[in-house]
Structure 1
Amino acid sequence: MQPILWTPAELAHAVEGVWIRSPGVRWRPTSVRAQLPSRDNLPVSEHAINFIYGESRLASALETLSGKRGGRGCLVLPSNLITAQVLERAELPILACPPTARPLADLARAARARFSGRLVLVVGSVGKTTTRQMIAHALREYGTVTANYGNLNLATHVYEILASSSPNTGYVVAEMGLLRGANFAEAAMVLKPDVVVFTHLGLAHIDAVEKQEEDPDHLVEQILRKKAQAFQGLTRFGAAIVNEDMPLASQASDIARKQTGRVTTFGRNPESAFRLLDLTLSGTGSRISCQCRDRRYEFEIGTVGAAPASNCMASLAAVDALGLKLEPAIAALASFSGVEGRSQLRRYDYRTGSVWILDDSFNATPLSMRACLDTLGKAARFHSAGRRIAVLGDIRHLGPQSGELHAELSEAVAEARIDRLYTIGSETPSLQSAVPPAIRAGHYETREDLVSALLSDLRTGDMVAFKASSPLKFWELVRIVAQRIEQEEPALAS
């Protein structure tokens, strides 16, 4: 039988709470979850330790958990939310905390204190999720691993992961994103990572920095200072991994050196300890040639483009920083097939031909949008594809500079030799207007109109890339277009 995640006494002590309704002898929670206002949350569960913040979240939780008296979890509530009506409706044990307390952070702090494994924290403007997934994939060759749920990467989500991990888990691999008001330093001090990986730096989540200057260089420097606070939590013998190719790389390394003498770099830069020497496409994946300190390796991964290759180098540097041999990790990464919606290239066949789709739909920043267009150009050339078609949506969280930053993507469109550009959203008209008239396929107000126009325009052999910020849910657009192609609904020209 698995040991209990948290005993009632351990939980109450960690969060300085008092049991209003105590758990029974069969109480055995399986995870930790938090319901915060205005945030993406995992759903409440009758088998979880559920931290509830706010009256609206409590009302929703009580409704969801109604009739689930046999659950093995509990509710952790601020004492001011516990009323006679709540006690009447709630069917799970209830732990009350002071209204001013931060119980989830306290539980994560207690979890870190008892955790006997190693913790890797991934930060950066782009590439966090793929790097986190690569590291987790590689580390499973060495022990048990827990990591973020999907794309939930705020500090509270990372606290959930750590508090849900067994003390005997081998490795926790967490990515942490930037949000206005977030205190990276405070979160890092709770997490106390053994390794911090800084994937890349660029303009992203501009609305999360305190002073939104017009000068892009100053904005990037602010973002660096914010994200580099993650280094402050490094353990005594912790390691920092920094992308040598990113803007202000030397500044990032200098900040890291204030916390640790173990700073390792990766990238194409000849000075990088983990250096990407060559990258070539191989079917729907990539072949990587690299030098890791004094040894050379060649292997393939199941995703395309320069960005995943860079993420791969960061992952190997992290494995090395943990004192592990690289060969098992490299063997594991050879079977890494990518992350859904990130640089995944597939061919969709129909009766008289085929169409390629580059699915990079999950999220977007100016940096990752440029990388996607570059990958489209190179993949189309490698596969001798027909036209290069880009379907692009808004990049969110860019602040007052949004229109200008979208328009500047016209340079990447030209460099990738895009033949047709489709756009949708409130921010992309500036990009559509900035490209030559010959490649403008139109700006669309609705997804239905865009799909209809695209399908009627497609020809056999075309390669289509999809990219936008996650609120636009472009992965649904990819699914619809792929299904319609396979159903031979469009009148594809041969």
Structure 2
Amino acid sequence: MRPPLWTGVAIAAATGGRLSAPFEAEGVTFDSRELIGGELFVAMRGAAADGHAFVEAAAARGAAGFLVERPVPFPHVLVDDSFRALEQLGVAARARTPAKVIGVTGSVGKTGTKEALRLAFARIAPDATHWSVKSYNNHTGVPLSLARMPEGSRFAVFEMGMNHQGEIEALTAMVRPHVAVITWVANAHIENFDNEEGIARAKAEIFEGVEPGGHAVWPHDNRHADILSAAVAARGLKSLSFGWNEGADVRVLNARPDAEGTDLSVDVAGEELHCRIGMTGRHWVSNGLAVLAAVKAAGGDIAEAGLALAAMNGLPGRGLRLRVPVAGGHATVIDESYNANPASMAAALAVLRDTPAKRRLAILGAMRELGGESARYHANLATPIIDAGVVELALVGPEMAALGHDAASYLPDAETAIDWARAMLRDGDVLLVKGSNSVGLGKVVAALGGSR
């Protein structure tokens, strides 16, 4: 019989809290809507709501116990600060496991790479692989993901994001990866930094938390490779760079792209592998190289990793392709609605360019957190839009005015974009939907429906 994820006694020991009555928990959450029964509910105070107000609802949904700052009439552990206690629970979970831990960050490709690594390790250890769900990559999501890690895990993959200097440093200190991966460095969240070099240094903070003797996996072809390489050397880590160019430890030998993905021959640190990436675009080849490097560093089977990459077929908001019914047939929607920055926007438009279609259409939302250079970055989208062969274009958000595209439809919000898409789509069309998450273009994809 599998032991519980947490007992009340273990939670009290990890957090220094006071246990009211024994209980056992099979999961951890701070969102009462996620409860299915048997979890620890962490009642945290937030800017918008106090989790203690949802204790009764959580109990009704089957929460096994509670982590709280004031006594409740259910089994609980009483602490001074629930958020701090969640961090302590995550640290305790990390300390008790023998798992090989992989941490992933980057300006683009974090979640896709994390999911590909999850699939790869799940093929190797199907009942002993743990990973952070969704994009739980911030100051609350990372300790929650750690706290959910079973003690007997063999592999664990955690995503780490940041908006400011120092955030990755705090997260990697909790995760303590054996393998740290940087997917790419670009100008996402640049409004909070002086320049891209600052972003590179912030991403390189992930190497600070790597366990002694661990590995750093980083993009050899990135314009900030010298900063990343120096950070690896400063920590004395084993280095595995990846890329297309000579000198990369994990390098493309041959690539044959088609409409569904790319067939690859790869030199994986001296071991040749033939595999397929089941996602389209050069950026996904780069992500795939990072996956192979990380699996190699973690002591996993790179052939299994190659099979996992072939099985990738898109994530909601991150490249998922949907077949949408329209008059006379169907159209294809490329769902890239989760987020956008200049690098990921150019990559998505390149995928649209290379996708066979009767017509290519795009709904592009504003890119946020670009600071004083926002207008220039938006204006620079003109070339990749032209290269993609877009014949019908909708632009959502005031920042898009800088693009100055005479033939575009400038729309105020996602709801208007839904109407535009329904009016425009014809049989054989391919529609790209991409923008910053705050623009809400996921509503467009949801409204259009469709199936994989």
Q: TM-score, normalised by structure 1?
A: 0.84
**Change in CA separation of 1:10 and 1:237 when aligned onto 2, cut-off 3 Å:** same
Please name the residue that 1:14 is paired with. 14
Please name the residue that 1:418 is paired with. 390
Match of 2:134 among 146, 150, 173: 150
How is 1:436-455 mapped onto 2 (pairs within 5 angstroms)? 437=406, 440-455=407-422
Could you give the per-residue CA deviations for residues 258-309 of structure 1, whole angstroms, max 9, x where no partner exists?
1133011111112111112444443433323322233333332332111222
Runs of 5+ unmatched residues, structure 1: 36-40, 214-218, 487-494
**Change in CA separation of 1:162 and 1:412 when aligned onto 2, cut-off 3 Å:** same
Match of 1:463 among 430, 441, 448: 430
**Alignment pair present for 1:65 and 2:65:** no
**Change in CA separation of 1:57 and 1:165 when aligned onto 2, cut-off 3 Å:** same
Please name the residue that 1:275 is paired with. 251
> Residue 320 of structure 1: SS of its match in structure 2?
helix
Please name the residue that 2:226 is paired with. 250
Please name the residue that 2:337 is paired with. 361
RMSD, matched Cα: 2.5
> Residue 151 of structure 2: SS of its match in structure 1?
coil
How is 1:371-382 mapped onto 2 (pairs within 5 angstroms)? 371-379=347-355
Shift of 1:429: 1.8
Please name the residue that 1:119 is paired with. 101
Please name the residue that 2:147 is paired with. 163
> Residue 465 of structure 1: SS of its match in structure 2?
strand
Shift of 1:310: 1.1
> In structure 2, what residue type is equivalent to 1:73?
G
Shift of 1:426: 2.6
Shift of 1:410: 1.5
**Alignment pair present for 1:28 and 2:28:** no
In 1, the alpha carbon distance for the partners of 2:155 and 2:298 equals 10
> Residue 208 of structure 2: SS of its match in structure 1?
helix
Matched-pair contact (CA < 8 Å) for 1:356–1:462? yes
How is 1:123-134 mapped onto 2 (pairs within 5 angstroms)? 123-134=105-116
Q: Which moved more, 1:148-157 or 1:443-452?
A: 443-452
> Residue 159 of structure 1: SS of its match in structure 2?
helix
Shift of 1:466: 0.8
Could you give the per-residue CA deviations for residues 211-255 of structure 1, whole angstroms, max 9, x where no partner exists?
x43xxxxx2111111121110111111100001122211210110
In 1, the alpha carbon distance for the partners of 2:54 and 2:140 equals 18
**Change in CA separation of 1:49 and 1:295 when aligned onto 2, cut-off 3 Å:** same
Shift of 1:375: 1.0
**Change in CA separation of 1:446 and 1:190 when aligned onto 2, cut-off 3 Å:** closer
**Change in CA separation of 1:181 and 1:76 when aligned onto 2, cut-off 3 Å:** farther
In 1, the alpha carbon distance for the partners of 2:33 and 2:153 equals 22
Could you give the per-residue CA deviations for residues 361-416 of structure 1, whole angstroms, max 9, x where no partner exists?
2211111001001111112xxx2x22222210021222233222211211222333
Match of 2:286 among 310, 317, 324: 310
Matched-pair contact (CA < 8 Å) for 1:71–1:92? no
In 1, the alpha carbon distance for the partners of 2:439 and 2:111 equals 18
Shift of 1:347: 4.5
Q: Which moved more, 1:118-127 or 1:354-363?
A: 354-363
**Change in CA separation of 1:67 and 1:343 when aligned onto 2, cut-off 3 Å:** closer
Shift of 1:60: 3.2
Please name the residue that 1:53 is paired with. 44
Shift of 1:54: 2.0
Matched-pair contact (CA < 8 Å) for 2:42–2:51? no
> In structure 2, what residue type is equivalent to 1:60?
A
> Percent of aligned positions with the same letter in both sequences?
28
In 1, the alpha carbon distance for the partners of 2:421 and 2:81 equals 53
Higher CA-based Rg: 1
> Residue 390 of structure 2: SS of its match in structure 1?
coil
Matched-pair contact (CA < 8 Å) for 1:300–1:334? yes
In 2, the alpha carbon distance for the partners of 1:221 and 1:3 equals 47
In 1, the alpha carbon distance for the partners of 2:390 and 2:145 equals 41
Runs of 5+ unmatched residues, structure 2: none
Q: Which moved more, 1:93-102 or 1:220-229?
A: 93-102
Shift of 1:332: 2.7
> Residue 419 of structure 1: SS of its match in structure 2?
strand
> In structure 2, what residue type is equivalent to 1:442?
S
